[in-house]
């Protein structure tokens, strides 16, 4: 028979969680501040050593409130994993990311990992790249990427935020994901394009640049937002959907990707697939609309016939 864990005692040095922080990050910080190992803290909270997030039930939250001195409501509001809202794609990407150090400077105990909405990649206030997401098994990045020398990157973040406000988080994220596939399929992987110049500004000590560079997502971000804007544009969607104007759409896409005139690659290119999907959606919409009109017209005709027959009677 297992004995019940000892009553939870408040830690000597309390610390509040920051907005949308991961539980792991918060526990690491308060453990560090109080000079205890995080495994000891988890044990004190009654959490399973390997599946501790899943075992953070009502009892675990209650013990966490006792240990930290924070109310249950405050902890749930700050830590998305407590009510699993981090899994809601309309709110967050389900991946942890490092918080901007300047934004969370007053929170002690070490670097902070948190959740961000899918359209947030840059701290525009401090000009720091925060868009690099990584798996739970990956090590924390040592430093955040300074993008102050590339004003196009924070400008792209402001455009990206406006797109999400206008078109919705999920639709914007789908378009941005498609833009990345289009970029990866179109651009020379040896980086003999202007992106290499941006990477040189972001990492001047590097002799050569590769798509695996940590700064690469930041370097291509303005281009991705430009492509995303086009994919969401009602004008360009109409142009792409009509066969007579489709070449105009491809020329504009080439201009935004390459900055000049290039022959478009036919076949299984992601942008061709996007256009095919768009056309299918339009056809389905038109067919549905035609069926609705036919149903209303038929119903109206039946009603008129019934009314006329009653008049004759």
Q: Are strands 145-146 and 128-129 parallel, antiparallel or unpaired?
A: antiparallel
C-alpha 121 chain-centroid distance: 8
Determine contact, residues 156/225, Cβ cutoff 8 Å: yes
Distance between CA atoms of 226 and 253, rounded to whole angstroms?
9
Exposed/middle/buried for residue 264 (C-beta within 10 Å: 0-12, 13-18, 19+): middle
Strand partners, 113: 98
pLDDT of residue 116: 94
User: Domain ranges in the chain?
Assistant: 1-88+103-112, 152-280
Mean pLDDT for each consecutive 10-residue tract of the chain (313 residues)? 66 93 94 93 78 68 90 94 88 84 92 94 94 52 80 97 96 95 80 78 80 86 96 95 91 84 68 89 63 58 60 59
CB atoms within 10 A of CB 3: 5
Name, in order, each residue with C-beta under 8 angstroms of 59's C-beta and a sequence gap of 6 or more. Answer: 46
In this prediction, residue 308 carries a pLDDT of 62
Query: What pLDDT score was predicted for residue 135?
Result: 43
Q: Return d(Cα 160, Cα 250) in angstroms, integer.
A: 22
Query: What pLDDT is stored for residue 144 in this prediction?
Result: 78
Burial string for 273-295 (b: 16+ CB within 10 Å, else e) reads ebbeebeeeeeeeeeeeeeeeee
Q: What is the pLDDT of residue 4?
A: 58
Phi (first) and psi of residue 291, to 5 degrees? -65, -40
């Amino acid at each position: 028979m297992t004995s019940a864990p000892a009553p939870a005692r408040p830690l000597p040095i309390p610390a509040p969680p920051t907005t949308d922080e991961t539980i792991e990050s918060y526990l690491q910080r308060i453990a560090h501040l109080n000079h205890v190992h995080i495994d000891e803290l988890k044990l004190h909270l009654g959490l399973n050593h390997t599946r501790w997030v899943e075992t953070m039930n009502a009892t675990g939250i209650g013990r966490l409130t006792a240990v930290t001195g924070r109310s249950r409501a405050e902890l749930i509001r700050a830590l998305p994993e407590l009510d699993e809202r981090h899994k809601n794609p309309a709110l967050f990407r389900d991946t942890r990311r490092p918080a901007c150090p300047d934004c969370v400077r007053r929170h002690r105990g070490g670097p902070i990992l948190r959740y961000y909405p899918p359209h947030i990649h840059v701290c525009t206030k401090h000009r720091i790249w925060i868009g690099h997401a990584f798996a739970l098994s990956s090590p924390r990045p040592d430093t955040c990427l300074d993008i102050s020398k590339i004003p196009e990157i924070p400008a792209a973040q402001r455009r990206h935020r406006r797109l999400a406000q206008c078109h919705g988080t999920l639709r914007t994220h789908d378009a941005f994901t498609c833009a990345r596939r289009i970029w990866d399929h179109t651009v020379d992987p040896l980086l003999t394009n202007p992106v290499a110049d941006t990477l040189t500004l972001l990492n001047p000590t590097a002799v050569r640049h590769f798509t695996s560079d940590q700064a690469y997502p930041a370097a291509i971000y303005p281009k991705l937002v430009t492509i995303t804007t086009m994919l969401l544009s009602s004008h360009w969607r109409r142009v792409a959907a009509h066969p007579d104007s489709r070449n105009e759409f491809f020329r504009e896409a080439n201009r935004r990707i390459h900055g000049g005139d290039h022959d478009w690659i036919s076949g299984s290119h992601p942008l061709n697939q996007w256009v095919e999907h768009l056309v299918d959606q339009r056809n389905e919409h038109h067919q549905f609309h035609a069926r609705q009109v036919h149903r209303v017209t038929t119903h109206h005709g039946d009603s008129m016939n019934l009314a006329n027959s009653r008049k004759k009677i």
